[in-house]
Amino acid sequence: MKAQVLANEALNAEVFRLELEKPDGFTFKPGQALQLKVPDVANPGALLDRYFSIASPPEKQSLELCIKKQGAATEYLSGLKAGESVELAGAVGAFVLEPKPHRHFVFVSMGTGVAPFRSMVASRLFRDNLPLSTLFLAGFRHAEDILFGEDLSRLDYIAWVPALSRESQDGVFAGRVTAYLKAAEIPFELSEFYICGSADLVKEVRAILEQKNVAEESIHHEAYLHPNKKKSW
């Protein structure tokens, strides 16, 4: 199916926000990714499958993607203008929100890993089933790299905590998200943890949670892969 581009804007030097019209009847669950069919510049006429977490809630009348430029496919997408179209195959993935109002929730992300969690916390499913507390921990290198900070800081039902690994700024945690997680006073055994970012981040956070006696079924994760590798769901 085709979707028209509504907006395409740079969020920082490496990441852009692509907003697409939502086709009639299109549905997805908070946390899922959008499968796009992107022209293969090295093989004219061929299409490449690319997957990007949806950064907007299902109730919104458009689809927002938060994409890092890395490779020919994302460079192509970064050049699309409003009014042009892109082919999409649908929503995919099992990394989805599972409401548990009797538990605490902790979201841990790095870079564009913030996208599926933005979809989750803004969704009606989450707002109608608020957990006991919500900590949204998001790691970035520099202040200019922070994604959706204004939007997320306005949500009064979550604690939005950006962490900067390569600079200091007043009011912002200086260090990696893993350092914050180790020192934070979190009811670990009473919490659900959602992790999204690099495979290394997922591995490090899982190791911390194991030390804190968090049950395996309370750890939900999604690791981003290099665009040339297939994504397994």
One domain, residues 26 and 108: no
One domain, residues 125 and 215: yes
Q: For residue 77, give the CATH number of its domain.
A: 2.40.30.10
Alpha helices in the chain (DSSP H): 72-78, 114-122, 124-127, 149-153, 177-183, 199-211
State which of 33, 66, 92 marks the end of a domain.
92
State which of 71, 92, 113 marks the end of a domain.
92
Please give the chain's pLDDT, 233 residues, in tens. Answer: 999 999 999 999 999 999 999 999 999 999 999 999 999 988 888 999 999 999 999 999 999 999 999 999 999 999 999 999 999 999 999 999 999 999 999 999 999 999 999 999 999 999 999 999 999 999 999 999 999 999 999 999 999 999 999 888 777 899 999 999 999 999 999 999 999 999 999 999 999 999 999 999 999 999 986 554 434 33
Count of helix runs (H) and strand runs (E) in the chain: 6, 12
Report pLDDT for 41. Answer: 83
Structural domain of 86: 2-92
One domain, residues 57 and 132: no
One domain, residues 77 and 131: no
One domain, residues 143 and 204: yes
Cα separation, 83 vs 64, whole angstroms: 15
Cα separation, 115 vs 124, whole angstroms: 16
Asked if the structure places residue 54 within a domain, the reply is yes
One domain, residues 72 and 13: yes
One domain, residues 55 and 25: yes
Closest CA to 48 of 82, 78, 77: 77
Give the three-class secondary structure for 155: coil
State which of 48, 70, 92 marks the end of a domain.
92
Q: For residue 174, give the CATH number of its domain.
A: 3.40.50.80
Cα separation, 155 vs 114, whole angstroms: 15
Output the CA torsion sign for 16, 56, 71, 205: positive
Residues 6+ apart with CB under 8 A from 171: none
One domain, residues 111 and 208: yes
One domain, residues 160 and 57: no
Asked if the structure places residue 230 within a domain, the reply is no
Asked if the structure places residue 126 within a domain, the reply is yes
